[in-house]
Amino acid sequence: MRIFPYTEAGEDHSENEDWILYSMHPSAENRLLVCIADGAGGYPDGLKASRTACETAMRFCHDRSWQELLIPSTWDWIFRETDSVVGNVCDGRTALLAFALDKSSLTGGSVGDSKLFFHDGLSILDLTERQKIKPVIGAGSGFATFFHCENPNGRVYAMTDGVWKYCGFKEIEGSINIPIETVPGKLRQNCELKNGELPDDFSIIAVAMEERTS
């Protein structure tokens, strides 16, 4: 498993309101936990909301067994409790995507407009296509849309809307043909403005599991 995160503030933002957090589950070194959050515009404390959401959800994931993280109700609980914590510590709101990944399964939950793609080398799957956009975390009624994928041997891309909205699906799909470590930089190039800046906060974590070879 190889992991390549990248995050950068957008052109008109004084600070990056995205947050990425990842670690291995206590049960094994090859079981990855990822949280990625995007502070909602129009509210104060966007960075505090996204960081708190990631740190809180990650703590809850560490406290659960790997088997519990395969159950939809576990993610529903994690998101509801994370929503409560964020609402208690700040006035911000945030999208949240969180998942558990190993060679056997990719399982998690999401709310907002971040995306999770799985690419097996032949086709690409949007695991978050049915997620709810609102209410986001911090609004007082947070919940997760559950997703699950078996045998995720290939690439996994988790990204905020500052990536997929501006680089386009074809670029994301075509990135299977370049080395995994170059994917964040390549997608950034596809998003950047003429002045080299980015139109929005940009965050992605690209993970390579076992990949098909020709």
State how far the alpha carbon of 72 is from the alpha carbons of 47, 77, 149, 158, in Å: 28, 9, 13, 19
Summarised one tens digit per residue, pLDDT across range 179-209 is 999 999 999 999 999 999 999 999 999 999 9
Full-model pTM: 0.94
Residue 213: per-residue pLDDT: 46
Q: Give the Cβ contact number of residue 35 at 10 Å.
A: 29
Nearest to 141 by CA among 99, 84, 95, 74: 84
Summarised one tens digit per residue, pLDDT across range 71-122 is 999 999 999 999 999 999 999 999 999 999 999 999 999 999 999 999 998 8
CA distance 170 to 114: 17
Domains observed in the chain = 2-208 (3.60.40.10)
